[in-house]
Structure 1
Amino acid sequence: MIKPSHLLRAAVLGTVFTAMFTVGSSAATLGAGTVTADALRLRDTPAAEGEILATASGGTSVVVLEDTGNGWYKVNFNTVEGYMSSEYLTVSTTADAALGYGLVDTDGSSLNMRAAAGTSYDTVASIPGGTVLELEGVDNGWYKVTYSGKTGYVSSDYITITTEPDATETASSDLGAQIVAYAEEYLGTPYVLGGNGPNQFDCSGFTKYVYSHFGYTLNRTATDQLQNGVSVSKDELQPGDLVFFKYRTSKPVSHVGIYIGNGEFIHASTNRYVVQIDQMESGHYANVYVYARRIIG
């Protein structure tokens, strides 16, 4: 995977889904397999003597990870990896099939979603690490997915098969990712004191404008935005949280931005006087960070 530039990134700290059990590897996917027998057993080794891990009924779709070359496929069935006899599996490298759910496994970086299956195609979205996606199909090692209203393909090298996440967590996580993605549409927009958007912003004007797009009303100044939402600690930060900084002021804070994950935030900056992404784990902003607030439930 080619990591996206700052102008396309929407990263998430590896979100911990406490209500979700994740298994499986992020090995490249060969294709989608369909069980042709009335029932087919998933075994722990590629042999008829292997321990039975599960049984798939006829017509079931499984994720085919590897052809072991001895009459068996390594597969992922309902988040459990094992082996199925190739005699009773029809495998397609290009297929639309419900394959369950996948976790974007990128160590916190974001993953490019392409218009088609391959790195040569345009990037249509940037998906934060830790996002759970419904896998709608497969095309030569790429999963077909829908994210933030757009459909495209992501490399299976960076997807771990997982169970369906808790609906509440998913909604919150997805909304945070959408807020980040929308904020990034304004990268490079000029900073102007008092700017409310969309062609110019100051720091709190930017956060207020972005959140208003999702139906949330924030107070106008950075100090007053400390009254919005609920307080969260730095180690609890999630994409979309407001992060506050204090530098050479008698006020509680002097600056605000939106956390995007991986120790980064997006803000209307007085450094280069544009909307940009900066690190808050090192350098200037690490030294002046003071608070965080969560706006979405």
Structure 2
Amino acid sequence: MVIRKICKAFRLSTAVAVLALCMAANASAVGTGQTTASQLNIRTEPFGPVITTVPEGTKLAILASSDGWAQVSVNGMLGYASMDYIVDAADSDFSVGSGMISADDVNFRSAPSTSAAVIGRFQSGTSVVVSGISDGWFKVSYNGKTGFVHPDYLAMTGETVPLTALPSIINTSISPTRQAVLEFAARYLGTPYKYGGASPDGFDCSGFTYFVYQNVVRDIPRTATDQRNAAQELTMDELLPGDLVFFRNSGSGSGVGHAGIYVGEGQFIHSPNSGDYVSYDTLWSGSYNKNFICGGRFLND
């Protein structure tokens, strides 16, 4: 009986080791997945102990896969999950985790392509923040710049992303309160849109702004219209990081149809609409620029 148990344990450990080797060989197959289980277990290794769970609809980076298991990274956590509960998802910004450059003179590119412009070069051992996947490349932030690194030259560390590093557009020259708003909001990149939602299980647009302010600053009204009416009105030129931004629905009247949080450099973070996730968008061009109504200030510093 003891011998059978030892043999069973040996077979299991051997299977785990083989899976790990297969995944290491396939390390460059980086993609974006989305969970379908109500609570998906993330494990230390295939068949191993559970280290955390993530809710349905969570986006995660698929670093490698073999025999029904995927090595994944999400919210700074590195582990393994069953592929039975993960489906392919569109690339977008979400909190992946910390990574480390694994070679010298690695190109930091402006787009996910070997033909894209090189905006910098990394040396081995450099730590970066990974904030998404695009066309099989890691989207990374470093020293105030955002660009792309090929997965052959970057290894996820499984470390929680330091709040001061998320994201690169956080501006250290602003007040600590505004900084805290941006850092807290960035934690929820990749959280799915949920109508009526105001929690990490899912947010609608004003539910997201409400949740961030409630946890960092103070209570503000729950709906986008009430938030606009209660805030000090701002023009686009008057916006500071941490202020709210309000938009009309495309093609509709002057009423408020959407809200987000300005982060600086013409960018804002928001929960866009059904089927989308908390992400960054530009305020200086496109439909959001066209439908911008005003900014709103609750922070007087």
TM-score bin (small chain) = 0.3 to 0.5
Between 1 and 2, higher relative CO (CA 8 Å, sep ≥ 6) is seen in 1
More helix as a share of residues: 2
Normalising by structure 2, what TM-score? 0.44
Larger radius of gyration: 1
Normalised TM-score (structure 1): 0.45
